[in-house]
Amino acid sequence: MDQNYKNLVFTKHALERLGDRSISMDAIWQTVSHPDKKFKNDGNSTKFIRRVNGRKIHAVATFLNKENKWLVVSVWVRGEDDKQPLVWQIITLPFKILWWLVKAIFKTLSKN
Protein backbone atom coordinates (compact mmCIF):
# COMPACT_ATOMS: atom_id res chain seq x y z
CA MET A 1 0.00 0.00 0.00
CA ASP A 2 1.35 3.44 -0.94
CA GLN A 3 2.27 5.65 2.01
CA ASN A 4 1.04 8.83 0.30
CA TYR A 5 -2.52 9.92 -0.38
CA LYS A 6 -3.38 13.47 -1.46
CA ASN A 7 -1.77 15.70 1.21
CA LEU A 8 -1.25 12.83 3.68
CA VAL A 9 1.74 10.61 4.44
CA PHE A 10 1.05 7.47 6.49
CA THR A 11 3.45 5.83 8.94
CA LYS A 12 3.81 2.05 8.85
CA HIS A 13 1.77 1.86 12.07
CA ALA A 14 -1.05 3.94 10.56
CA LEU A 15 -1.12 1.77 7.41
CA GLU A 16 -1.39 -1.36 9.57
CA ARG A 17 -4.27 0.19 11.53
CA LEU A 18 -6.08 1.10 8.30
CA GLY A 19 -6.07 -2.58 7.37
CA ASP A 20 -6.88 -3.85 10.87
CA ARG A 21 -9.80 -1.48 11.20
CA SER A 22 -11.12 -1.44 7.62
CA ILE A 23 -10.67 2.30 7.22
CA SER A 24 -9.99 3.82 3.82
CA MET A 25 -7.33 6.42 3.15
CA ASP A 26 -10.07 8.66 1.80
CA ALA A 27 -11.95 8.47 5.13
CA ILE A 28 -8.77 9.64 6.87
CA TRP A 29 -8.30 12.40 4.31
CA GLN A 30 -11.89 13.58 4.96
CA THR A 31 -11.25 13.45 8.72
CA VAL A 32 -8.04 15.47 8.57
CA SER A 33 -9.21 17.93 5.88
CA HIS A 34 -12.69 18.62 7.26
CA PRO A 35 -12.87 17.47 10.90
CA ASP A 36 -15.96 17.76 13.08
CA LYS A 37 -13.58 18.26 16.03
CA LYS A 38 -9.88 18.99 16.28
CA PHE A 39 -7.63 18.93 19.37
CA LYS A 40 -4.00 19.96 19.76
CA ASN A 41 -1.99 17.22 21.56
CA ASP A 42 1.28 17.56 23.43
CA GLY A 43 4.09 18.37 20.99
CA ASN A 44 3.13 19.07 17.37
CA SER A 45 0.46 16.41 16.85
CA THR A 46 -3.23 17.07 16.36
CA LYS A 47 -6.18 14.71 16.92
CA PHE A 48 -8.93 14.88 14.29
CA ILE A 49 -12.42 13.42 14.69
CA ARG A 50 -15.11 13.11 12.02
CA ARG A 51 -18.12 10.91 11.37
CA VAL A 52 -17.71 9.21 7.97
CA ASN A 53 -20.38 6.78 6.74
CA GLY A 54 -21.76 6.44 10.27
CA ARG A 55 -18.35 5.59 11.79
CA LYS A 56 -16.61 7.95 14.22
CA ILE A 57 -13.09 8.14 12.74
CA HIS A 58 -10.17 9.34 14.87
CA ALA A 59 -6.76 10.26 13.43
CA VAL A 60 -3.61 11.62 15.01
CA ALA A 61 -1.33 13.53 12.66
CA THR A 62 1.59 15.96 12.67
CA PHE A 63 1.98 18.72 10.09
CA LEU A 64 5.21 18.54 8.07
CA ASN A 65 6.05 22.14 7.16
CA LYS A 66 8.74 21.34 4.55
CA GLU A 67 6.47 18.97 2.60
CA ASN A 68 3.24 20.87 3.33
CA LYS A 69 1.62 17.52 4.24
CA TRP A 70 0.18 15.76 7.28
CA LEU A 71 2.02 12.74 8.70
CA VAL A 72 -0.70 10.38 9.93
CA VAL A 73 0.58 8.52 12.99
CA SER A 74 -2.44 6.45 14.04
CA VAL A 75 -6.11 5.91 13.19
CA TRP A 76 -9.05 4.15 14.85
CA VAL A 77 -12.83 4.02 14.99
CA ARG A 78 -14.43 4.90 18.30
CA GLY A 79 -16.60 2.07 19.63
CA GLU A 80 -15.27 -0.64 17.30
CA ASP A 81 -12.85 -3.44 18.12
CA ASP A 82 -10.09 -4.52 15.74
CA LYS A 83 -10.77 -7.57 13.62
CA GLN A 84 -9.23 -10.76 14.98
CA PRO A 85 -6.68 -12.43 12.68
CA LEU A 86 -8.00 -15.48 10.81
CA VAL A 87 -5.44 -17.75 12.50
CA TRP A 88 -6.71 -16.70 15.93
CA GLN A 89 -10.33 -17.27 14.84
CA ILE A 90 -9.45 -20.80 13.71
CA ILE A 91 -7.51 -21.59 16.91
CA THR A 92 -10.32 -20.40 19.20
CA LEU A 93 -13.21 -21.91 17.21
CA PRO A 94 -13.19 -25.33 18.99
CA PHE A 95 -13.31 -23.59 22.39
CA LYS A 96 -16.21 -21.40 21.28
CA ILE A 97 -18.13 -24.43 20.03
CA LEU A 98 -17.41 -26.32 23.27
CA TRP A 99 -18.58 -23.35 25.35
CA TRP A 100 -21.78 -23.10 23.27
CA LEU A 101 -22.45 -26.84 23.84
CA VAL A 102 -21.86 -26.56 27.60
CA LYS A 103 -24.29 -23.63 27.82
CA ALA A 104 -26.88 -25.51 25.74
CA ILE A 105 -26.59 -28.60 27.97
CA PHE A 106 -26.97 -26.57 31.19
CA LYS A 107 -29.92 -24.69 29.72
CA THR A 108 -31.61 -28.01 28.82
CA LEU A 109 -30.89 -29.52 32.25
CA SER A 110 -32.20 -26.43 34.09
CA LYS A 111 -35.56 -26.75 32.30
CA ASN A 112 -36.04 -30.31 33.66
Number of domains the chain contains? 2
Which positions of the chain have pLDDT values less than 70? 1-2, 80, 82, 112
| pLDDT recorded at residue 89 | 81
* Closest by CA position to 76, among listed 62, 63, 61: 61
Find the helix packing angle between 12-20 and 25-33, rounded to 10°: 110
Strands 69-77 and 8-10, by their bridges, are parallel
Give the per-residue pLDDT at 42: 80
Is residue 57 located within the same domain as residue 105? no
Q: How many other CB atoms sit within 10 Å of the CB of residue 70?
A: 23
| 76 plus 89 within the same structural domain | no
* pLDDT at residue 111, rounded to an integer: 81
Parent domain of 103: 82-112
Model pLDDT, residue 22 = 87
Q: Are residues 21 and 51 in the same domain?
A: yes
- Give the pLDDT score at 43: 80
pLDDT of residue 82: 66
Does residue 112 share a domain with residue 99? yes
